[in-house]
Amino acid sequence: MGPLREGVLQHHRIGSPSFGSGCASWCVDGILDRIEYQKRPRRFEYRLTEKGIELYPLIVAMIAWGDRWMAGAAGAPVELIHRRCGHAITPKLICPSCSETHAPSGSEDERDALRTFLEEATLARAGSAPKTLPEDVRRSADPPERPPGALAGNARASGVELDDTAWARLDDDQRYALIKLGDGAKPSHNFKAALEEFLGA
Q: Are residues 163 and 184 in the same domain?
A: yes
Which structural domain range is residue 77 located in?
Answer: 55-91
Tally of structural domains, the chain: 4
Q: 191 lies in a domain?
A: yes
In sequence order, what are the residues at sequence separation of 6 or more whose Cβ sits closer than 8 angstroms to the Cβ of residue 130? Answer: 118, 119, 122
> Are 180 and 144 contained in the same domain?
yes
178 domain-assigned: yes
Backbone angles phi and psi of 94, in degrees to 5 = -115, 130
Checking if the pLDDT of 201 tops 70, the result is no
Indicate whether 97 belongs to any domain.
no
8 and 43 belong to one structural domain: yes
Instruction: Tell me if 45 is assigned to some domain.
Output: yes
- Domain presence at residue 98: no
d(CA 27, CA 98): 38
pLDDT tens string 161-187: 999 999 998 888 788 888 888 888 888
pLDDT of 114: 65
Tell whether the model's pLDDT for residue 84 goes beyond 80.
yes
Residue 145 and residue 189 in one domain: yes
Query: 195 and 143 in one domain?
Result: yes
